[in-house]
């Protein structure tokens, strides 16, 4: 490879025998934790080799190969740090976990050139991993603008690679709180339905036969007249997954302007946004593997909505918490 190792990182990858017959881009993405699209870009640039020979993304593996992947150092970040107060619920030498407020965009995008979580992170003066791209320093997953709650940020490349690999292997447990319309019949349930672009509305996602596999588990936490508060486990991480899955079973998330209609879109009295909150994270520490568990209580605006529902129900929920772990 022409690049000097000091300008980036060379990773040795041993292909498992069980990967025989698989495309090289898919296997490398799975083994490194990098996104498949980013791996494809690296391959197109000649950065993946086998015995000195550059590979193509579509090459099929025999199993047992020893590959070398060069990951260039992140380009200098051309974003201006901003002083934005962040609620940090956990921090060590590898990562921090922030409690993102609703309304805060995670990373820069058209229409959001400033005032994002990334700008706020840079304002802390901390270094971050760069393997997800210069616009996403340390970012390994995201939350929609109107979703509040916990989000992990890696402080260096090794930590970022570890977190991305854990996410890809579904070893990070992400639990959300969602208020949904109607009375959810089962106290505990699991939704398995593929998600892809809505063929009728390309800006939305939907349950479609040729979509990517998606799994959401849920437990009833509290019941109210006309509404149910759920704990939702995000087993996979598809775009808008919880919102799409719950709408598909007839229980859209309260305050959802995209997948809700009528009463569900408006939500209970006092609700001014999507009632979806990333409540708890469980993951292995990148350095030594010990369990990290972080929680973020419901924001005051969402808790106030629940208090209003409890008052309407006569001072207590229509049914006590159904499942306690």
Query: Across the 325 residues of the chain, what is the mean pLDDT of every consecutive 10-residue run?
Result: 55 87 87 79 93 93 92 68 88 96 81 79 86 80 93 94 93 97 97 93 89 96 97 95 97 95 94 97 96 98 97 61 35
Q: What pLDDT does residue 223 have? A: 97
Q: Please spell the DSSP secondary structure of 104-154, one letter per residue.
A: --SS-BTTBSSSSHHHHHHTTT-----TT-TTSTTB-----TT-EEEEEEE
Q: From 279, 231, 250, select the one nearest 184 (Cα to Cα).
A: 250
| Three-state secondary-structure class, residue 80 | coil
Catalytic residue list contains 144: yes
pTM of the entire predicted model: 0.75
Strand ranges (E), the chain: 8-14, 48-50, 53-54, 66-72, 87-91, 95-100, 148-154, 173-181, 188-192, 195-197, 205-207, 215-224, 227-234, 276-284, 291-295
Out of 30, 59, 144, 301, which one is annotated catalytic? 144
Q: What pLDDT does residue 107 have? A: 77
Q: What pLDDT does residue 2 have? A: 39
Q: What pLDDT does residue 279 have? A: 98
- Measured distance CA(39)–CA(26) in Å, rounded: 8
Domains, the chain, ordered by start: 5-72 (3.10.290.10), 87-168 (3.30.2350.10), 173-312 (3.30.2350.10)
In this structure, the number of other CB atoms found within 10 A of the CB of residue 323 comes to: 12
What does residue 216 show for φ and ψ, rounded to 5 degrees?
-130, 125
CA angle 124, 145, 274 (to 5 degrees): 135
């Amino acid at each position: 490879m022409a690049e000097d190792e000091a300008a980036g990182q060379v990773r040795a990858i041993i292909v498992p025998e069980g990967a025989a017959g698989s495309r090289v881009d898919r296997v490398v993405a799975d083994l490194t934790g990098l996104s498949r699209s980013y791996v494809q870009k690296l391959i197109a640039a000649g950065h993946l080799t086998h015995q000195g020979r550059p590979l193509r993304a579509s090459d099929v593996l025999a199993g047992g190969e020893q590959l070398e992947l060069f990951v260039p150092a992140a380009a200098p970040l051309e974003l201006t740090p901003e002083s934005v107060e962040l609620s940090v619920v956990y921090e060590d030498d590898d990562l921090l976990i922030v409690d993102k407020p609703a309304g805060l965009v995670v990373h820069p995008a058209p229409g959001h050139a400033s005032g994002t979580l990334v700008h706020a992170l840079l304002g802390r003066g901390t270094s971050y991993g760069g393997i997800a791209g210069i616009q996403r320093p340390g970012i390994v997953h995201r939350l929609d603008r109107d979703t509040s709650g916990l989000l992990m940020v890696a402080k260096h490349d090794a930590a970022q690679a570890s977190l991305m690999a854990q996410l890809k292997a579904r070893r990070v447990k992400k639990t959300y709180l969602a208020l949904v319309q109607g009375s959810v019949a089962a106290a505990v349930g699991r939704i398995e339905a593929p998600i892809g672009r809505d063929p009728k509305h390309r800006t939305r996602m939907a349950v479609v036969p040729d979509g990517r596999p998606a799994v959401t588990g849920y437990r009833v936490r509290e019941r109210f007249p006309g509404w149910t508060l759920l704990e939702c486990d995000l087993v996979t991480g598809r775009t808008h997954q919880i919102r799409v899955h719950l709408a598909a079973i007839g229980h859209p998330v309260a305050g959802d302007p995209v997948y809700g209609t009528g009463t569900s879109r408006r939500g209970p009295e006092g609700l001014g946004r999507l009632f979806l909150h990333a409540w708890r994270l469980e993951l292995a520490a990148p350095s030594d593997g010990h369990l990290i568990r972080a929680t973020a209580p419901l924001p005051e605006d969402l808790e106030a909505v629940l208090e209003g529902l409890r008052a309407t129900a006569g001072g207590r929920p229509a049914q006590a918490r159904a499942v306690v772990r």
